[in-house]
A and B are shown apart, each in its own frame.
Chain A
Amino acid sequence: MTTETTTAWTKPHILSLETFAAPEYETLLETADSFREVLSRRTKKVPALQGQVVANLFFEPSTRTRSSFELAAKRLSADTLNFSGSSSSLAKGETIFDTAKTYMAMGANIMVIRHRQAGVPHTIAAEMDRLQTDVRILNAGDGQHEHPSQALLDLFTLYQWLSSSSPHQFLAGKKVALVGDILHSRVARSNLYSLTAMGATVHLAAPPTLLPKAFQGLLPESYQDQLICHWEIEPALAEADFIMTLRLQKERMSDHLLPSLREYHQRFGITRDRARLAKDHVKILHPGPVNRGVEISSDLMDDPECSLISQQVASGVAVRMALLYLIGTSS
């Protein structure tokens, strides 16, 4: 299959959305759209990456993201290899580079990397470049840094939902509320870059311990008006077009960041009552896995009128196909 792209893809690695420019988001959305069409066919497979090897190096275990990447690679006819941290030899004294080099020796063209610590995809990409290999690195979530493919599938989900005629600034005039453990969320950081780049205004909401003041300065100056931080949930939800909630890890209590899950749900949980503060047609997204009854009430999550959660999962494969395709076929 051939994909018409508006811009030639120049990024060899996808490590962070911080450095993404608007035309790159547009290319990505258009490419994902064409793969969504492929996935609706009877034969959901194209030979775009035939003969290439995609290695999923998941130093931090994950089933959902890894499965999504694996399926995306297979739909592109690539061969896939899976490495998971629990079966790793890291405990036996290997460095992170040894693992990457092992998969390089097996002929991996693209490495999809997840690690519980920030920066590991970057250091592996730097090492691959230093060795002058042609291996491409795709960040599948690194510590509290970024999760580009998740934010892009969120973006694609919104793009689909809005049926925009063009991806150009398709979120202009839209208000997105991003609620939850912003401080520890790699998804929130990536989403902030992508949503504002496409024109949305993002309202962050969390207690101060999970939303430090410095977040206000996270974006480049030209985007700063599109980011507003709140320590109460109500102003963030007011007239919002979309609500994104984030998973709250239970260990936040032992880090003295919150008094209890109960109080968190009372003050920041998305409930049906609170959702009424937003626009009538408001849609709710969550990157999963969900703590039902903590960040979002169960009935709201299961309500197809409100929730875009299952669309997010479906978008994941098309977006990951687009990412693999773009870096796998760029020169």
Chain B
Amino acid sequence: MDSGDQNPRLTQLLQQVRVLDPVSETEQIADVLIENNQIREIAPHISDYPPHTQIKETQGLIFAPGLVDLYSHSGEPGFEDRETLVSLGKAALAGGFTRVGILPDTEPPLDTPSDLQWFKTVASPETPQFYLWGCLTLGGKGDSMTELGELAQAGIIGFSDGVPLADLGLLRRVLEYVQPLEKPVALSVHDRALGRHGVMREGKLSLRTGLPGEPACAETSALAAILEVAACTETPVHIMRVSTARSVALIADAKARGVPVTASTTWMHLLLNTTAMTTYNPNLNIHPPLGDRADQRALIEGVKSGVIDAIAVDHTPYTYEEKTVAFAEAPPGVIGLELALPLLWQTFVETGEWTALELWNALSASPQRCLQQPPLRCAIGEPTEAILFDPKTAWTVSQNHLKSLSANTPWFGKQLTGQVVATFLNDR
């Protein structure tokens, strides 16, 4: 990767690049002058630049803010054969993500302030910014609150167990207690009793494949309950991994009523539906399971309309041994940090389903807002935390190419089009 961050003092001129700034909702072909890690100028043609400027031919490339992933999983600490923070960081940057939310379901789980200290030692100027989620409940077990105030002070980005919190009484108290802490709370919505042993969305196809089905109401009933609790506590909540059409409708309705809710789906739920599962590829075992065509359609439209605020990657590495088992016995989850942007771009922007700005909003500006952080920008005077994306370069998903230590993805061995060719990391 040709990266602009290797010499932050370098002055660079990007010529005739396609600049996206989702905040101002502008898109233009222009020259961009970057100096001291700051965007000095954006103009149709820049001819007045310092003599030592490195000139880059960037026609056909996209210059846009770094992507922000709301939540993904680190293997480290606890499962370093799946992923280390270093490999996760490299994978994120290779895929265009300059900020990555890390869920606290590590071993040990991130549920005390002292666990945070360790993470901070790993961060370096070469890694993306890790946003650490702190557990809502001890060990993420859903039984009792963590020391939420202490965690908030220690520098977590927000609270999430990453897994459903079944006890609504506890959820209510947690949402009340965290209100003055002003940190986002991200909730996974799933009713375990309804979901039972399901590994696939229940319906005609689950009957045909013989895979145990999980009804859509396992998600929607839990969501409805959480929205009611959020409405009465008035604490902002973020709904993770929305996967059903009915959930999109419930969230739209809650937003219309003024309930403080934001929501995300995952790139997998946008790209695929249950029909993919007739291959029994364990790398299609994700949770919540892929929806049917109508769910997928509703999610795609939800992202466009803004009912679904953001697209999360939910990068979940597992080793070859862990995933090379029967579909229903495979642990759910897939990697995605290096794959999401090229696939989403090809599927939705190249086809005209979404504009480039709509995609970038869902992958960068909007996730920042969900986290109560200022969105990244590509505008004059802004620090450069941005990427150069070549939407035309083809590459093959292989162990050699992937920076992630795991390769659990249904796209393994396939050719993708679109690659991040440079990353500009702001001096932090």
Chain A residues within an 8 Å CB radius of B320: 95
A219 to chain B, nearest CB (A): 10
B303 to chain A, nearest CB (A): 28
Report how far A71 CA is from B401 CA in the complex, Å.
49
Q: Once the chains bind, are B211 and A189 in contact (CB under 8 Å)?
A: no
Show the binding face of B for A, using Cβ within 8 Å.
196, 202-204, 207-212, 279-282, 320-321, 324-329
- A15: nearest residue on chain B (CB-CB)? B280
* Given A95-B321, A186-B210, A214-B207: A118 touches B327 (CB 8 Å cut-off): yes
- Choose one: A115, A144, A215, A255; the contact of B326 (CB below 8 Å): A115
A230 contacts chain B at the CB level, 8 A cutoff = no
* Given A119-B209, A217-B204: A93 touches B326 (CB 8 Å cut-off): no
Q: Once the chains bind, are B207 and A95 in contact (CB under 8 Å)?
A: no
- Choose one: B204, B209, B324; the contact of A145 (CB below 8 Å): B209
Show the binding face of A for B, using Cβ within 8 Å.
18, 93, 95-97, 115-120, 122-123, 126, 142-146, 183, 186, 189, 212, 214-215, 217-218, 255
- A217: nearest residue on chain B (CB-CB)? B204
Chain A residues within an 8 Å CB radius of B204: 214, 217-218
Chain A residues within an 8 Å CB radius of B324: 95-97
Report how far A119 CA is from B206 CA in the complex, Å.
12
- Choose one: A93, A96, A97, A144; the contact of B210 (CB below 8 Å): A144
Inter-chain contact total with CB atoms closer than 8 Å: 70
Report how far A182 CA is from B371 CA in the complex, Å.
47
Q: Once the chains bind, are B279 and A143 in contact (CB under 8 Å)?
A: no
Q: Once the chains bind, are B321 and A120 in contact (CB under 8 Å)?
A: no
Q: Once the chains bind, are B210 and A212 in contact (CB under 8 Å)?
A: no
- A142: nearest residue on chain B (CB-CB)? B210
Chain A residues within an 8 Å CB radius of B282: 123
* Given A93-B321, A96-B324, A214-B204: A118 touches B281 (CB 8 Å cut-off): no
Chain B residues within an 8 Å CB radius of A120: 280, 326-327
- A185: nearest residue on chain B (CB-CB)? B210
- Choose one: A97, A115, A123; the contact of B281 (CB below 8 Å): A123
Report how far A212 CA is from B214 CA in the complex, Å.
13
Q: Once the chains bind, are B280 and A118 in contact (CB under 8 Å)?
A: yes
Report how far A142 CA is from B328 CA in the complex, Å.
12
- Choose one: A18, A117, A146; the contact of B328 (CB below 8 Å): A117
Q: Once the chains bind, are B280 and A122 in contact (CB under 8 Å)?
A: yes
Q: List 27 A-B contacts (CB under 8 A).
A: A95-B321, A95-B325, A96-B326, A97-B324, A117-B328, A117-B329, A118-B209, A118-B210, A118-B280, A118-B327, A118-B328, A119-B209, A119-B210, A119-B327, A120-B327, A123-B280, A123-B326, A123-B327, A142-B210, A145-B209, A183-B207, A189-B207, A189-B208, A212-B202, A214-B207, A218-B204, A255-B196
Q: Once the chains bind, are A117 and B327 in contact (CB under 8 Å)?
A: yes
Chain A residues within an 8 Å CB radius of B207: 183, 189, 212, 214-215, 218
Report how far A307 CA is from B324 CA in the complex, Å.
43
Report how far A257 CA is from B203 CA in the complex, Å.
17
Report how far A218 CA is from B208 CA in the complex, Å.
7
A193 to chain B, nearest CB (A): 10
Chain B residues within an 8 Å CB radius of A144: 210-212
Chain B residues within an 8 Å CB radius of A123: 280-282, 326-327
B423 to chain A, nearest CB (A): 35
Q: Once the chains bind, are A145 and B326 in contact (CB under 8 Å)?
A: no
Given contacts A96-B324, A97-B324, A117-B327, 13 further A-B contacts (CB under 8 A): A95-B320, A95-B325, A118-B210, A118-B327, A119-B326, A120-B326, A142-B210, A143-B326, A145-B209, A183-B207, A186-B210, A212-B207, A255-B196
